[in-house]
Amino acid sequence: MENGELFRELLAEVRLLRQAIERIDTRLNSPLARSTSQPKPPRLSESECRGLYREMRAEYAQDRTTRGLDALLARSRSDLSVFCRANNLPVDMRTGKDSIRAQILARIREDEQLRATYPMARAELACVGERKD
């Protein structure tokens, strides 16, 4: 009688294992379980980068918010690099995104202070540099 009882217990365990394997299999094959990579946003052009920087400066000057900057930081590092290069921002890209955010925000604040100190006729920034003639 012990053999029959042991056999029934083993059979019950095998059935439970089979059900667990079937559940795992259905989860793995379901469309929700498959990791669908989100489509990457298109690369930023230099004119888009300059416009985005203007929008960020205006947003920060008006509301003291950084939603545009946070949206930019959600993009890839290559897009951040293009953004910094297009706007002549001296940002160390080898650091973390928090440090990159702090560096860009510091530049926005610096631009705001310069604009208050030296008002310009146009809203665009002037690139100050040495001329080598």
Which tens digits make up the pLDDT trace of 71-81?
999 999 999 99
Task: Give me 47's structure tokens.
Answer: 């004119």
Nearest CA among 64, 79, 41, 78 for reference residue 112: 64
Which tens digits make up the pLDDT trace of 60-69?
999 998 999 9
Structural domain containing residue 6: 1-30
Whole-angstrom Cα distance, residue 16 to residue 22?
Answer: 10
Residues 25 and 83 occupy one common structural domain: no
Give the residue with greater pLDDT, 106 vs 132: 106
| Residue at 38 is within a domain | no
Domain count, the chain: 2
Residues 26 and 50 occupy one common structural domain: no
